[in-house]
Structure 1
C-alpha cells in the first residue's frame, strides 16, 4: 500500500472500513445496508481496499485456545540504526502478538506470549537474546487485561455512517476464557485458513479440507459464539484520519488501579488496557485523531482521575504486527516491499 492509496480514500471507503472493523465477515449486502450505498459499489470497492492492502481481515484463535499462557510486555533498546532489523526479526516469532517501533526512551515495544505460563519465562530470553542489535530489554508481566478493542474506528462511526441502535452498547471488554478442549483438528484447520483470509467462503474452505459447507459453517459459528475466535480487521490508522497512536504507562496508587482502569476502559479511543506487575501501572494504548486530541485527553481527563500519579508515553511510529498477524503495509512504508 502506498501513501497515494490512502490519499485516494473517499468517505464511502472509510465507511466501508469502519463497517468491516465491526464485523469483518459481514456480507457485502449487510455492509452496503450499513453504509447506505449500492451493494455492487460496496462489494467492488471493499474488495479493492483489501487487495491494495489498506485493510486485511483475519480470524485468530483466542489466547486460551492453546492452554495456559502468560503475556509479557517487552520494551527494547537497539543499537543505532538497527531498529527495523530487530523488529523484522521479532515479528517472525509466532509467539510475538504485536510489535511496534516507537519514540521516547525505548525503540521497540512488543508483547510476547509465553506458552505454559509465567514459569516458562526463559522462553522469552531465548527469543530475544539471539537477535543482533538488541542492546537492552525490559519485560513486564501483564497481570490482567481490561480491554481489547478491534473496532477502535467506531469512534468515527456516527460521524461517517450516522447514529446506530448500538451506539451506546460497549463493543469491547475483558476477553472471555476459551479452552483447548473447545477445538478439534478440523476446527484448527478451518481457523488456519481464515488466518490467511478472514473473508474466505465456507464453501472454499470445505472444498480444500474435504468437509461439507454446512459443517464448516456450524463449526465456525460455534467457536465464534463461544468467544474462541476473534475476527480482526487490520487497518492503518491514517486510513481513518487517526494521527496519533500512543502507549501510556500510567502509574496509579495501588488502591485505585481497578477503579482507574474501569474509567479508562469507557473511552472508545482506548484500544488496549492492562494492569502490569511492575510499579503499580496500567498500560493504556490510545488512538486519537491528532496530537491536539491526545493533549486534551491527558490534560482534561487522565490528569484528573483520582489515583493517577503520572505517566510515561511512547508514540507508535510503525506497527509491524498485531493480533499475531503481520500488518500488510509496513514493508511498503519503509521501502521493503
Structure 2
C-alpha cells in the first residue's frame, strides 16, 4: 500500500532526505510485506541480525503506530466487485460525509481531496445486485452531496500483495526469494466462499495480521492447528494476503496525489504496465469511465510531483488527458477504521 535511504536519495527514487526509518527498519518492513506472519527468527536469519533485534524494532514501531501488519482478503479471489467512487460535497459537509463513508464496512481508502469538496473512496460489493444497492441506495444521500461518480475497477497493475517498498531495493533478490511464500494457485475467475468462521478470522487479521494462533482460535472457535491449516489454504488460494500500513512521514513523503488518466484503448495495457513500474506509483489500475487509468502517486514535495508529471507521466503511451488531485486528509486505509492510525497507509490508492 515507498522507501528512501537514511541520508540522500535512492537511485531512481522520487524521495530523498533524512527519514525516521533506518536501513534495518526498511528491510524489516520489506520482509513483512513479503510475509506478514513470518517468524521473527526467520526474518532475523535473512537480515543477519538477532531475533531480539527484529522483535524489538517491530514492537517499538507497532506500539508507536509507525507500522502495522494487516491480513486482508483479495476481492478478485472472492469474486467481489470494487468501485472507485468520487463524492462531491458542499465544503461545509465534506468532512462529515467522508467520516460516514469511513465508518462503513464496505469501504476502504477513504480520503478527502484538495479543495475540501471531494471524497475519494473504494467500495466493495459481492455481486451486481449488491453494487446496485450500494451505489444507488447506501451511499450518502443528503442535500450536501451534490454528485457521485463510480467506476468499476477492471484490472490491477500494481497493488494487493505488492507493496511500494518492493521497488525500494531494501532487500536483495536472494533475500526476497528466501522470504517470499509460495505463489497462490492460478485460479482465474474462481470465487472462494467464506464461512462465518472465515469472516471472523479475517476480522481479526485485518486488525493485526500477526495475531497469535491462540487468539485466532478463540475468535474462530477452531483449534490452533485448524487455524494454521486454514491460513495456509487461504494463502494458497490467493484469498489472503498481507499488507503493511506504515507512516509515510517515516519514509520522507510529503505529497500523495490521486491521478486519473484518459488513455487510448489500444495503449491502455502498455500505459498501465509502464505506470506500475514507476517508483512513485503506489497503486495502479484500469477502470471504466472516461478516465480509464488510475494511480496513487507519492512524492517528496510539489516540485518532485511537477517533475514526475511532466516527465514520466508525459512519456506514457496513448495518454489523452490527465487529472490530478492531492490528498489533504486520509481517513481510512485497507483495514478497518481505527481512531488512531498512521499518518498515511504507505501503499496505494
TM over 0.5: same fold? yes
Contact 1:153 1:240 survives alignment (8 Å): no
Verify: 1:107 aligned to 2:132, yes or no: no
Which residue of 2 is the match for residue 94 of structure 1? Answer: 105
Which residue of 1 is the match for residue 9 of structure 2? Answer: none
Which of the numbers 68, 92, 97 marks the counterpart of 1:56? Answer: 68
Q: CA 1:118 to 1:240, structure 2 compared with 1: closer, same or farther past 3 Å? A: farther
Contact 1:145 1:175 survives alignment (8 Å): no
Task: Report the CA distance between 1:329 and its aligned residue.
Answer: 4.3
Which of the numbers 92, 95, 102 marks the counterpart of 1:84? Answer: 95
Which of the numbers 45, 50, 56 marks the counterpart of 1:38? Answer: 50
Q: CA 1:178 to 1:166, structure 2 compared with 1: closer, same or farther past 3 Å? A: farther
Once structures 1 and 2 are overlaid, which stretch shifts more, 145-154 or 37-46?
145-154
Q: CA 1:30 to 1:253, structure 2 compared with 1: closer, same or farther past 3 Å? A: same
SS of match in other structure, 2:314: helix
Which of the numbers 199, 203, 207 marks the counterpart of 1:196? Answer: 207
Which of the numbers 141, 146, 151 marks the counterpart of 2:163? Answer: 151
RMSD: 3.2
Which residue of 1 is the match for residue 315 of structure 2? Answer: 304
Distance 2:123 2:219 in 1: 32
Q: CA 1:311 to 1:25, structure 2 compared with 1: closer, same or farther past 3 Å? A: same
Distance 2:93 2:72 in 1: 30
Unaligned runs of 5+ in 1: 1-5
SS of match in other structure, 2:65: coil
Q: CA 1:249 to 1:8, structure 2 compared with 1: closer, same or farther past 3 Å? A: closer
SS of match in other structure, 1:325: coil
Q: CA 1:13 to 1:81, structure 2 compared with 1: closer, same or farther past 3 Å? A: farther
Task: Report the CA distance between 1:9 and its aligned residue.
Answer: 4.7
For residues 265-292 of structure 1, what are the alpha-carbon distances to aligned partners after superposition, in whole Å with 9 as ceiling and x for unaligned? Answer: 2234322222222215211122234434
Q: CA 1:120 to 1:154, structure 2 compared with 1: closer, same or farther past 3 Å? A: closer
Distance 1:257 1:288 in 2: 24
SS of match in other structure, 2:267: helix
Which residue of 1 is the match for residue 296 of structure 2? Answer: 285
How many correspondences in the alignment? 320
Distance 1:20 1:110 in 2: 26
Q: CA 1:133 to 1:51, structure 2 compared with 1: closer, same or farther past 3 Å? A: farther
For residues 243-267 of structure 1, what are the alpha-carbon distances to aligned partners after superposition, in whole Å with 9 as ceiling and x for unaligned? Answer: 2221111111232112211222223
Unaligned runs of 5+ in 2: 1-17, 345-349
Verify: 1:313 aligned to 2:324, yes or no: yes
Which of the numbers 125, 149, 158 marks the counterpart of 2:136? Answer: 125
SS of match in other structure, 1:272: strand
Distance 2:21 2:42 in 1: 21
Distance 1:176 1:65 in 2: 8
Contact 2:206 2:335 survives alignment (8 Å): no
SS of match in other structure, 1:326: coil
- Name the TM-score, length of structure 2 as normaliser: 0.79
Which of the numbers 268, 280, 295 marks the counterpart of 2:306? Answer: 295
Distance 2:137 2:219 in 1: 36
Which residue of 2 is the match for residue 3 of structure 1? Answer: none
Q: CA 1:272 to 1:7, structure 2 compared with 1: closer, same or farther past 3 Å? A: closer
